[in-house]
Amino acid sequence: MDLDPDEVDAVRRAGLVHDVGLAAIPTAEHAFLADIEHPTIAAQLVDALPLHPSVASAVASHHEWYDGWGVPRGLQRDGIPIAGRVLALAAFAVEMSCEDVARPAWPLDRVTDEIGRRRGTQFDPDVVDTGLPALASSLAIALERSNEEEM
């Protein structure tokens, strides 16, 4: 998997803003709609910024699944922009590694095991094979730093 510098930058920038669309959706009563609609809302907001178009494209597609079962458009395989496929993996790993009101943070080995289980369904196998080692290493460092700060 080769990403050109614009795609790498798009993933980095999209990672910072990909969930901004959640702010436009009321919380409790529309939780299911939030998952479906926030990528589109966020992409519209990001598209209004002076950023490379692939940033909005990555944001719009970060909940698409490799096998086509994702939202909001049901894209699959190469129909999902590569920046969106990379962002999907990173966003999932970070989300599962962090505590949420609905569940505790998962340990890193559980996150990587789950990503492996979802390889080829939710996640692009090439992105998992290429990106997971670096992602796991980065998460381990971030989690270690977070634990040190709590002490």
CATH number at residue 55: 1.10.3210.10
Dist CA 144 CA 68 (whole Å):
35
Dist CA 134 CA 119 (whole Å):
16
- Note down the domain range covering 126: 5-150
> How high is the pLDDT of residue 48?
94
**Overall number of domains in the chain:** 1
Query: pLDDT band for position 28 (50/70/90)?
Result: low
85 or 135: which carries more pLDDT confidence? 85
Average pLDDT of the residues in 130-145: 87
Dist CA 108 CA 25 (whole Å):
30
Distances (CA, A) of 77 to 20, 89, 108: 25, 14, 26
On average, the pLDDT of the chain sits at: 90
27 or 96: which carries more pLDDT confidence? 96
